[in-house]
Structure 1
Amino acid sequence: MELEIFETLAISLGLGLLVGLQRQHDQSQLAGIRTFPLITLFGTISGFLAQDFGGWIIAAGILGLAALMAVANIMRSKTPDFDIGLTTEAAALLMFVVGAYLVLGQTTVAVAIGATVAVLLHLKETLHGIVAKIGQSDLQAIMQFVVISLVVLPVLPDRTYGPYNVLNPYNIWLMVVLIVGLGLLGYFAYKVFGQKSGTVLGGILGGLISSTATTVSYARRTKGNDTSSMLAALVIFIASAVSLLRVITEVAVVAPDTLPTVAPPLAAVFLLMLVLGVVMYLFKGGDHDTMPEQGNPAQLKTALVFGAIYAAVMLATAFAKDQLGSGGLYFVAIISGLTDVDAITLSTSRLMQVGDLEPADGWKLILVAALSNLAFKAGLVGVLGNRTVFGKVAMLFGVVLAGGLLVLWLWPEDFQFPLLGA
């Protein structure tokens, strides 16, 4: 018992020293390398006492600590360099509670919170720099995502409606949240790196935000400009490769149990695209490129459109399976994959997760949709870009289409990658 007490006190001391080190390095005038360990130990001792005398001990400790900091700030306010920031005060109160939680709660959680406090304090300049870069449109994107995910989603009914009993408003909007969230992640990565991004990073960000939009943007830029054809083709190809990786991520989120079967054949096609991308990058020359301005992916209109597409694909999939059998599902995959591979991926993943579709058939539908999407984007390049970029994209996509068809034909039916199921 005594050993456990000393272990708890040692952890409390270590967390206090960690946060105190950061505050001392930041030249905090209120508390530093000595004060924070005392505060955390104060919380831990209060937690031990609360076990015998009740929770009022912890409440009294918080009030006493708050009063002590108030007196210190009153005295410091008389100095000319007084800083009215409350960061150190908030950290001190939180670390007191962390010290108490080491006794009354879970040690792992307390350590994680203490370490997070230290990291947040250390990242002051970085976080302030990110906030300074956020404009009105970026703030609007964040708030729109909050509405989509935290306002709309919780009020939707979690039950099925309509033909074939497959339209669940909650699940449909949950898929919307997933796709918008992925797009928003890429959008803010673009905001941080976009104007500085080269060809590779531009393709990666484009694939995260929207590979189709990236294809349209870069194809248009080549009209009447042959010098940018190689770069444009490379960015389009990288964005398409990343979109395939994004598809695997969507399957992992919606139907994680199917990954041992679904991920390997999709990953095989991605590796083919990766090899082609590396070879093309080595021959692109020393030119660099910048990304076109990217739109906000969290707009409510965009979310509603995707939700409608996803619901339509769900209905079409159920109809095809009922009326046409498994062969009809491939027709749906080809048609829906032309414009949006995310919808068919999510609907197929949902069917696999609930047991209405075998994973060995599901990955084929997803791959067919992805290959259909590649063909559609090649057509966009042919219409919007110049002949040079179309030739390069058609050659690259043609190799991938051939490789994808070989995977569909030759991949073993019962193959599973065991590590993905661990």
Structure 2
Amino acid sequence: MNEVPLQLANAPLEETVVRLALAGALGMFLGLEREWSQKAAGIRTFSLISLLGAVFTVLVREGDIGDGLLLLGGLLVIVQGVLLAVQGLMEGEPAETGLSLTTSVSMLVAYGVGVLVAAGFILEGVTVAVLSSLLLVLKRELHEFAWGLSREEMRSTTEFAILAFVIYPLLPATYEPEVAGITIPLEPQVIWLMVVAVAGIGIANYAIVSTYGGRGIAITGFFGGLASSTAVVGTMLDHVDQRPEAASYAVAAILLANAAMAARNLAIAVGFTAGGEAGILLEAIVPLGAVIVLAFAVAAATADWSESGPMELESPFSLKNALGFGAVFLVVLVFGSLAETWFGTLGFYATAVASGFVSSAGATTSAVVLYRGGQLGPAEATIAILLATVSSIVVKALLAATSTNDGFRNRVAAYSTVLLVGGALASVLLVV
């Protein structure tokens, strides 16, 4: 009696029956919020619509029926949605009309999810279902966010969308110009992603700082550093440009970004070597740990974190500053590539330094992989990780040096030196 359910449970996602069942389940998931909101179309309706899309897709793909069947099914769902919208218009208040339109569109999305899943696009179908459900659940929050935007914030949001979704796809993945007779492999999309990261972290910083004040800068620095510690500098340059009196917070944010970067590298070095034949890379713990502790200590001592009131910023981010940061970052990247070519005898170490300009995590991961494979010893792997970490700290100090605020750039340079010296002393003490 249990053979059929067991066979269904063990069936691969390519099986038609499994795809039909998944389509129905995703339809139920989409209809859950509509049912909870007491709309005319709920769990059963949405599940049946997804199943309809899946069934029609199977008939088109595996039968002799033309593609017109899918179009017919879509038209039926649209007609049903229009009828629901008209019913809401005639019987409900204006606010309810918008909800009826949302339900109508959601029904068409459910039909599309069924089509995607039955056509074999499992991940895409699940993604659409989850995102659509999230949009439905976060209705109130999204409305409040949109209604609360100022004109400047709306313009910045539009600029960010252009940066992230319009310009990025137009750029080539690779570009190899010649400088001084040397071919430099560049990745324009990666460089542009750094500009997008600066803008994205800037928007997050704007929202957090406007709410939590100085403490919000600390949050931006640390968690932004986990994603891209270099991009945090671009955000802080914009922040200091708008509020010169907040330079101490911006310096602390960069220090915390360095701490987050070192903590991420340490987690990679220890976590991915645990359980391996080469053993845990313990040599990296003391120097990286020293950088983390010093960064937190200096940040705590240099900024008055008791000031937690909101800080007024002019805009979420500056497009001019973000583009300027991207240009400086490109120059640093070119010189890093040239240094890697000039110091070919120290190829791997030079690569670690150059990689640290972009992401020290990449160089750390490469060193760990080579260490696990036996190509590098613990000392060589640790040196490569430290060089990438040092490179990341130095490049942030160089980028901060482009600021017109003397106090800001001098303090970043001084405290970055403290981190570097502290890490170096810890390494020496470990060797001795």
TM-score class, shorter: 0.5 to 0.7
Secondary structure of 1:311's counterpart equals helix
Q: Does 1:79 align with 2:91?
A: yes
CA contact (8 A) 2:238 2:317 kept: no
Provide the secondary structure at the position in 2 that maps to 1:159. Answer: coil
2:296 equivalent to 1:271: no
Distance 1:277 1:86, change over 3 A: farther
Distance 1:101 1:406 in 2: 58
In structure 2, how many angstroms separate the alpha carbons of the residues matched to 1:319 and 1:285?
40
Match of 1:43 in 2: 53
TM-score by length of structure 2 reads 0.65
Whether the aligned pair in 1 keeps the contact of 2:173 and 2:189 (CA below 8 Å) is: no
Q: Which AA in structure 2 matches 1:151?
A: I
Contact 1:272/1:400, CA 8 A, preserved across alignment: no
Q: 2:389 aligns with which of 337, 343, 367?
A: 367
Residue of structure 2 in register with 1:402 after alignment: 421
Whether 2:72 is the aligned partner of 1:60: answer yes
Alignment of 1:92-107 (within 5 A): 92-107=107-122
1:121-140 correspondence runs (5 A): 121-140=136-155
CA shift for structure 1 position 344: 6.1
Post-superposition CA distance 1:88-107 (Å, at most 9, x none): 11210121222233333144
Once the two structures are overlaid, the 10-residue window that deviates more, 73-82 or 112-121, is: 73-82
The range that moved more, 92-101 or 359-368, is 359-368
Q: Distance in 2 between the 1:249 and 1:153 partners? A: 29
DSSP 3-state at the match of 2:217 = helix
* Structure 1, 100-109 or 272-281: larger mean CA deviation: 272-281
Of structures 1 and 2, the one with the larger relative CO (CA 8 A, separation 6+) is: 1
CA gap of 1:148–1:112, structure 2 versus 1, over 3 A, is closer
The CA distance in 2 between the partners of 1:347 and 1:33, in whole Å, is: 46
- Mapped contact 1:17–1:34 kept (Cα < 8 A): yes
Q: CA 1:187–1:266 in structure 2 vs 1: closer, same or farther (change >3 Å)?
A: farther
Map 1:225-240 → 2, pairs under 5 A: 236-240=251-255
The aligned runs of 1:254-403 (5 Å cut-off) are: 267-273=288-294, 276=297, 286-291=306-311, 293=313, 297=317, 299-300=319-320, 302-304=322-324, 306-315=326-335, 317-318=337-338, 321-322=341-342, 345-346=357-358, 362-372=384-394, 384=407, 400-403=419-422
Deviations, residues 359-394 of structure 1 (Å, cap 9, x unaligned): 76654444334554687879x999538xxx97xx99
TM-score, normalising length: structure 1 = 0.67
Deviation at 1:159, TM superposition (A): 3.3
8 Å Cα contact 2:333/2:358 also seen in 1: no
Aligned residue identity for 2:90: K
Please list every run of 5 or more consecutive structure 2 residues that lacks an aligned counterpart in the other structure.
9-15, 225-231, 274-279, 368-379
Shift of residue 347, structure 1, vs aligned partner = 8.6
1:418 match: none
Within a 5 Å distance, the mapping from 1:212-223 to structure 2 comes to 213=237, 216=240, 220-221=244-245
1:22, distance to aligned residue in structure 2 (A): 0.5
Distance 1:323 1:316 in 2: 11
SS of the equivalent of 1:86 reads: helix
Q: State the secondary structure of the residue aligned to 1:31.
A: coil
Equivalent position of 1:25 in the other structure? 36
The one-letter code of the counterpart of 2:293 is L
Distance change in 2, residues 1:143/1:363 (3 Å)? farther
Q: Name the SS for the 2:175 alignment partner.
A: coil
User: Structure 2 vs 1, CA of residues 349 and 277 (structure 1 numbering), >3 Å: closer, same or farther?
Assistant: closer
Q: Which residue in 2 is equivalent to 1:417?
A: none
Given that 2:41 and 2:103 are in contact with CA atoms closer than 8 Å, whether structure 1 keeps it comes out as yes
User: How far, CA to CA, are the matches of 1:382 and 1:68 in structure 2?
Assistant: 62
Asked if the contact 1:167–1:311 (Cα under 8 Å) also holds between the matched residues in 2, the reply is no
* Counterparts of 1:127 and 1:235, CA distance in 2: 30
Structure 1 residue 407, shift from structure 2 partner: 5.0
Q: Is the 8 A contact 1:9 1:44 kept in 2?
A: yes
Matched, 1:191 2:206: yes
Aligned length: 376
Matched-pair contact (CA < 8 Å) for 1:309–1:343: no
Does the 8 Å CA contact 2:215/2:308 hold for their aligned counterparts? Answer: no
